[in-house]
Structure 1
Amino acid sequence: MTTDLPDAYEISDDSARIDAELVHRWLSQDAYWARDRSREKQDRAIAGSLNFGVYDRASGRQVGYARVVTDKADFAWLCDVYISPEVRGKGIGTALVTAVRDHLARYDLRRVLLATADAHEIYAKIGFVPLEAPERWMALGRQ
C-alpha cells in the first residue's frame, strides 16, 4: 500500500496480524465512540469487517487500527480508526485512512461513510465531505 507513511511503519490489511486484545483496550478505554465495548462485541466486529493495522517495522508492534464494514459492491462504513497516542502527530492516521480509501477504490463503491466528532479536517484532506442531504439519512439504534 502506497501512502505518505513514515518509513518506520507499515500498513497491512491482513486481519490475522491484528492484535485484538490491544485494539479492544484502545477502543474500550480511550475511544469516545466505543468506550465500554465488550471484548466479545469487539471480536465480532473484527471478524465481520475488513481490518487494517499499522505496525512498527522494527518491533512488529501494532500502533494503529481501522476497520471497514462493506458489501464490496455499493457501500462501506469506515469506523474504529485509532492511532496509539505515542505515535500521533506523525501523519500515521492520515496515511492509514488514505490506504483504506485506496484499498476500497477497487470495489467502485457508490458511497463510503464515516462519523467523527473531532477529526473532520483529517478526513477532508483525504476527500471526505459532509453529506449533501443529511435530512435524507436516518438511523436506528443508539445515537
Structure 2
Amino acid sequence: MRRYRISTELSEMDIDVIHAFISKSYWAKDIPKPVLQKALAHSLCFGVFTSGNQQVGFGRLITDRATYAYLADVFIVDEYRGLGLSKALMTNIVSHPDLQGLRRMVLSTRDAHGLYEQFGFTQVPNPEALMQVWKPNVYQE
C-alpha cells in the first residue's frame, strides 16, 4: 500500500467519485447526490486514495461507535481492483479505534462474501430474527 493511503477525513472524500460509483450500484441505484451527501455526513467514512490524492475506493460505517455498526457502500473503482486495496480498506475499517468493542457489525452483500469472511464476518445464524422495512426502488420513485 505504499502508493495508496486510507483516510477517514470527511473533507477529503470526493463526492463526485463516490456518487458516480454508488449511483450505478445494485444496492443504491440512482441515489440522489444530496441524499448521499447527507448519508456521508452522518457516517464514519473511509476513502482510499492514490499518492496523487485521487479517490479510488470507499466504505462507510453507520454506527454509534459503542455497540453497533453497519458497513455500507464499500467499493474499489474497476481500474484499481486486484491490487489488494479492498483488503487494505477492510483492515483499516476493522482495526479503527472507534470500532473496537462493538457487540455487532453487520453488512449486506450479494457477491463479496469471500472478502468479508477474511475479516470475521459470517452468515447470520438466525435470519428469521432480522426484520426490515425495505424500499429497493426508493430512488427511482
Give the letter for the 2:47 counterpart.
G
Residue 71 of structure 2 contacts residue 106 of structure 2 at CA under 8 Å; is this kept in 1? yes
Alpha-carbon spacing, 1:133–1:28, altered in 2? closer, same or farther (3 Å): same
Aligned-pair identity (%): 38
Unpaired runs of 5+ residues, structure 2, are: 137-141
Of 110, 113, 129 in structure 2, the residue corresponding to residue 117 of structure 1 is 110
Give the aligned partner of residue 24 of structure 1.
Answer: 19
Query: What is the root-mean-square deviation in Å for CA atoms of aligned residues?
Result: 1.3
Residue 66 of structure 2 contacts residue 98 of structure 2 at CA under 8 Å; is this kept in 1? no
Give the aligned partner of residue 141 of structure 1.
Answer: 134
Deviations 1:88-131 (A, max 9, x none): 01110111012111115654110000000000001001111111
Give the aligned partner of residue 78 of structure 2.
Answer: 85
Give the aligned partner of residue 30 of structure 2.
Answer: 36
TM-score, normalized by length of structure 2? 0.91
TM-score, normalized by length of structure 1? 0.90
Q: Which has the higher helix share?
A: 1
Give the aligned partner of residue 130 of structure 1.
Answer: 123
Give the aligned partner of residue 44 of structure 2.
Answer: 50
Deviations 1:48-95 (A, max 9, x none): 1001000001x1111100011001111100000010110001110111
Residue 22 of structure 2 contacts residue 31 of structure 2 at CA under 8 Å; is this kept in 1? yes
Give the aligned partner of residue 3 of structure 1.
Answer: none
The total of aligned residue pairs comes to: 136
The reply to whether residue 10 of structure 1 matches residue 5 of structure 2 is yes
Of 62, 67, 75 in structure 1, the residue corresponding to residue 60 of structure 2 is 67
Give the letter for the 1:12 counterpart.
S
Q: Structure 2: how far apart are the matches of 1:107 and 1:142?
A: 31
Residue 61 of structure 2 contacts residue 70 of structure 2 at CA under 8 Å; is this kept in 1? yes
Aligned-pair CA distance for 1:7: 1.3
Q: Secondary structure at the match of 1:126?
A: coil
Q: Structure 2: how far apart are the matches of 1:36 and 1:105?
A: 31
Give the letter for the 1:111 counterpart.
R
